[in-house]
């Protein structure tokens, strides 16, 4: 679980005594009510019977922050923990807004841009801000989960247990893959497998060589996550890409360790398969959305130049 306790873009670490919000007699022409503090709010979906936000809670969900048509923050489609509820620095701040919400609520809040500007340098304010024009920074929030410190601690504990299990199972997963593919090549001392499918006749790559490589990288389940071979990309239904040989210098940590080790000794014209344990790839962090933590990888490589 990636933890990103975002300190909101325009009110970083704001701390102000939250004031109670009471709906006025009627909304404005855009459906917004205004609290006594000046906070504007409009509920799109409200779940009054659900758990309500309390001070020091951690909030998880989707949020867009925008000002004068410009988006300042957006995690739609990627819900995450986005803030801890604290005291605001000014009345009508975002923490006061969050304290109005229940789990599952969807609401939009308008916060005074002038109030925010009092605590930021002019260069930190969004483009288009003009003082004393009653401008608003809007927060469009869909609150999916309210989390306590204990909830977060449990999530972290569960995540660490899951990662420990993945790490302990990796050797067996690689062994099963090797057996299913009838691979008889023995691994290097590091655990890296280098299976030469075609031996080239050109110059041999050594540490310090500049090599150019065509490659296709997959998880052990066969899922392609990266390639610079156009035909492979099209077959996998991947759009776009850079279909030129990838050039780098061996032994300079320009690539994952499994490449630096696995390409040494291959001649120009060689084709090989590298089975790379996660400690020689992306380890406990994984890479992006396609390579999970502790994932062994398979690369089919073709060395097209050695200089």
Q: Are residues 86 and 193 in the same domain?
A: no
Specify whether 198 is located in the same domain as 249: yes
Q: Give pLDDT tens digits for 150-190.
A: 888 898 899 899 999 999 999 999 999 999 999 999 999 99
Q: Domain total for the chain?
A: 2
4: in domain:
no
- Give helix then strand counts, H and E, for the chain: 5, 13
Domain end marker among 93, 115, 147 = 147
The CATH number given to whatever domain includes residue 213 is 3.10.50.40
**111 in any annotated domain:** yes
Q: Do 135 and 231 share a structural domain?
A: no
Place of tokens 């061996």: 250
Assigned domain for 15 exists: no
User: Do 90 and 206 belong to one domain?
Assistant: no
Q: Is residue 52 part of a domain?
A: yes
Contacts of 250 (CB under 8 A, 6+ apart): 205, 206, 207, 208, 209, 210, 211, 260, 263, 264
Question: Are residues 102 and 224 both part of a single domain?
Answer: no
pLDDT at position 288, please? 85
Q: Give the residue numbers spanning the domain of 257.
A: 170-306
192-222: pLDDT as tens digits: 999 999 999 999 999 999 999 999 999 999 9
254, part of any domain: yes
Do 255 and 127 lie in a common domain?
Answer: no
- Span 45-74, mean pLDDT? 95
- Whether residue 206 sits in one domain with residue 120: no
The whole-angstrom separation of Cα 208 and Cα 224 is: 29
Provide the pairing of β-strand 224-227 with 193-198: unpaired
Domain end call among 147, 178, 199 = 147
Residue 62's CB is within 10 A of a number of other CB atoms, namely 18
pTM of this structure: 0.62
Q: For the chain, what percentages of helix, strand and coil (3-state, to nearest 5) are there?
A: 20, 30, 50
Residue whose pair of structure tokens reads 């610079």 in the numeric block: 228
pLDDT of residue 5: 34
């Amino acid at each position: 679980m990636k933890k990103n306790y975002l300190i909101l873009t325009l009110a970083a670490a704001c701390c102000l005594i939250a004031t109670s919000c009471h709906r006025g007699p009627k909304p404005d022409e855009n459906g917004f009510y205004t609290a006594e503090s000046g906070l504007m709010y409009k509920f799109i979906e409200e779940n009054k019977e659900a758990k309500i936000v309390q001070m020091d809670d951690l909030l998880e969900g989707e949020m867009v922050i925008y000002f004068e048509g410009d988006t300042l923050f957006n995690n739609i489609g990627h819900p995450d923990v986005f803030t801890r509820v604290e005291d605001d620095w000014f009345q009508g701040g975002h923490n006061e807004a969050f304290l109005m919400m229940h789990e599952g609520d969807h609401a939009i809040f308008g916060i005074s841009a002038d109030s925010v500007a009092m605590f930021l340098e002019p260069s930190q304010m969004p483009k288009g801000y003009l003082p004393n024009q009653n401008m608003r920074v809007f927060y469009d929030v869909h609150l999916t989960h309210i989390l306590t410190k204990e909830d977060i601690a449990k999530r972290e504990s569960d995540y660490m247990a899951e990662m420990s299990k993945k790490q302990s199972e990796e050797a067996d997963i690689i062994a099963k893959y090797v057996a299913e593919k009838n691979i008889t090549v023995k691994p290097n001392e590091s655990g890296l497998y280098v299976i030469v499918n075609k031996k080239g006749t050109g110059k041999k790559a050594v540490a310090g060589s500049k090599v150019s490589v065509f490659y296709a990288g997959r998880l052990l389940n066969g899922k392609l996550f990266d390639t610079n071979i156009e035909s492979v990309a099209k077959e996998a239904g991947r759009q776009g890409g850079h279909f030129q040989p990838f050039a780098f210098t061996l032994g300079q940590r320009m690539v994952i360790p499994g490449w630096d080790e696995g390409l040494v000794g291959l001649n120009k014209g060689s084709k090989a398969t590298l089975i790379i344990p996660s400690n020689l790839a992306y380890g406990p962090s994984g890479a992006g959305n396609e390579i999970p933590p502790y994932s062994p990888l398979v690369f089919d490589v073709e060395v097209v130049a050695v200089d």
